[in-house]
Chain A
């Protein structure tokens, strides 16, 4: 990096992005800053942001069948807002996320606390907690669709065997969304566990030593030492988990197709369905744009909540 910083381009010619002059030792010269940022930013601009701008632009166009487009302004959005199915999807999506995000993170935190300390067989439990993550989302859906099948599935055989009785799961309007949440949680918690573990290992042991000498209880230590120290990792996990769960849709596509009676009609599934089944790209891109905006707003709120008392960013 330091080599690149002395590249044969005069510093004065480079755009001055750095706010302060290089006289402040804690601020890098522009070229140094670019060396750190540019590789990642260049890839993101080329392979993500350009397509995103094209997609958001596309949401303002309507396309006829021969693929010719005409500017429609907010037509696609207006049509969505006037559609009861959209409002149902929005409700389903928000319900799904309000439940699954805190649930996954709470469980992942428990996983991390449980397997953090070394001990006999702990490696086995760490691997066990992570293992569901090694199945792709699509295969998770295929596996659970079989496990929960009313006729051939082992889960219903067990439930019947122990006297609870067979359950419809994905076939019931009242159980389908909950079942989706359950299988996504089954798969996902082990993933979030690794970030929380990485965070827990960073907490200096002396903090706990001091607390123990003061006679603080374990609960006290958790609330007053662990949680505040985990502020930054938790902020990341909340934002990333929110985004990933808003983008979740493969099991809906594979198992329920949004049903029964709209119970699992997630917005992301509708975006996919409109693109590849209804061949209505304008509407699909409008839905995608709405999803992006919702995630962005929630992420901003989450980041704000995780700021520390002095107001520094999370």
Chain B
């Protein structure tokens, strides 16, 4: 806003006078303001301490923002277009959005040419228009969790934890029918992110659908394409026709509780669930790879957390030091040891050895190399995700799949108009 800018420039000038003493104090030790996604303190503080020990002249001022509010809270700071924060965490698919709005400094020059160390999907998410804009930090993948007791009781053979023997969705549905028992409030299959494109997009992708145009700016013809509609019809039938999946489980944490308290026999979920489910001692469970459609291809979701640098930072040298440090295998490994997420550096998979040598992690490692497809690259990811979430919810609720997807495609394209202009 032109008016706002002018007024605010004056105010900023006045403010910098007031802030002068703080600047003087800061010269002794550089303080970096870092906005971190709100993981538990135990996953973050050790990383910050590690960095400050290795770089005694830089102190970190950490802010943990809960996931649900990370985007709005960051948006206020970034839209104010001030030097703060120096460093911030970005969800991978937002790289394009932040880049196009000039909230990110290019990282290519800082890291040099050894980007081949990163897993392909993670690197792709951090790249916009051929330049690395956000540093890949920690990734994600999905596996199918299975309740052994339910399978035994229903007399269904368990799928194997082997990507070569992956079940099809059709097989999964048949098993789910046998496992579902309304009298016991027991459901065959529950999705961790039942309305989120992160998970649901893999169904149309497995049927061969391209979910967005190549330039990331057109949804019509993609979101309402035939394979997309077919896949979502199968998805809708799980809820409405076969009734093997409960409707309305949109809260990821309530979905986890469905599986953890024995109300769901199969649970398709991201890797952090490996830790939370292991913590439930009474539960007898195992894992299998995510299913695919018969005649289609295996597609699994992935997405990563990235680190971005504010182009307006006043402490460029220190911020670059931070970026360089968090690109080191030691940091990526230390973080992966604290959090059950797949590391973004290939070498760390090896250096962590036994820790990642479990059936679940072996599946994830293979998926990262072979089947993982990141979410489509578009500056309008937030709009795309929000509108599709609404559509997926209503499709579960019994809306006509084709009509609802056509409407979603129109709505997305309308919001995308601003990126085309």
A and B touch in the complex (CB under 8 A): yes
State the interface size on chain B (CB cutoff 8 A): 42
Q: CB-defined interface of A230-259 with B at 8 Å, one 1/0 digit per residue? A: 000000000000000000000000100111
User: Which of these, B71, B79, B382, contacts A67 with CB under 8 Å?
Assistant: B79
* Secondary structure of the A contact surface, majority rule: loop
Is there contact, CB below 8 Å, between B386 and A277? yes
Inter-chain contact A276/B71, CB cutoff 8 Å: yes
Contact indicator A67/B247 (Cβ below 8 Å): no
Q: Does B102 contact A (CB under 8 A)?
A: yes
Residue from the list B2, B7, B389, B399 in contact with A61, Cβ < 8 A: B2
Bound complex: CA of A281 vs CA of B101, how far in Å?
A: 13
CB-CB under 8 A from A162, the residues of chain B are: none
8 Å CB contact of A152 from B97, B254, B418: B254
Beta-carbon nearest neighbor of B386 in chain A: A277
Interface centre among B3, B5, B246, B257, by most A CB within 10 Å?
Answer: B3
Instruction: Please report the C-alpha to C-alpha distance between residue A173 and residue B415 in the assembled complex, in whole angstroms.
Output: 25
Contact of B101 among A67, A146, A152 (CB under 8 A): A67
**A188: Cβ under 8 A from any B Cβ:** no
Bound state CA distance, A57 and B2, in angstroms? 10
Contact B419 A65 (CB under 8 A): yes
Q: What are 22 A-B contacts defined by CB distance under 8 Å?
A: A54-B1, A57-B1, A58-B3, A64-B418, A65-B100, A65-B101, A66-B101, A67-B81, A71-B2, A149-B249, A150-B247, A150-B248, A257-B389, A276-B71, A276-B75, A277-B382, A278-B415, A279-B75, A279-B97, A279-B101, A279-B382, A280-B418
Known: A150-B248, A257-B393. 7 other contacts (CB 8 A): A54-B7, A58-B1, A63-B1, A65-B418, A66-B101, A278-B386, A280-B418
Asked if B258 and A151 sit within 8 Å, CB to CB, the answer is yes
Task: Tell whether B4 is near chain A: CB-to-CB under 8 Å.
Answer: yes
Closest residue on chain A to residue B391 by CB atoms: A259
Q: In chain B, what residue has the closest Cβ to A261? A: B394
Residue A145 is within 8 A (CB to CB) of chain B in the complex: yes
Q: Which of chain B's residues has its CB closest to A282's CB? A: B1
Residues of A within 8 A of B3 (CB): 54, 57-58
Q: How many angstroms from the CA of A171 to the CA of B397 in the assembled complex?
A: 7
Is the pair B390, A258 in contact by a Cβ cutoff of 8 Å? Answer: yes
- A254 CA to B254 CA in the complex, in Å? 14
Q: Is the CB of A259 within 8 A of B1?
A: no
The 10 closest A-B pairs by CB, nearest first: A276-B72, A171-B248, A58-B1, A277-B386, A54-B4, A65-B100, A69-B1, A277-B382, A57-B3, A151-B246
Instruction: Give chain A residues whose Cβ lies under 8 Å from the Cβ of B71.
Output: 276
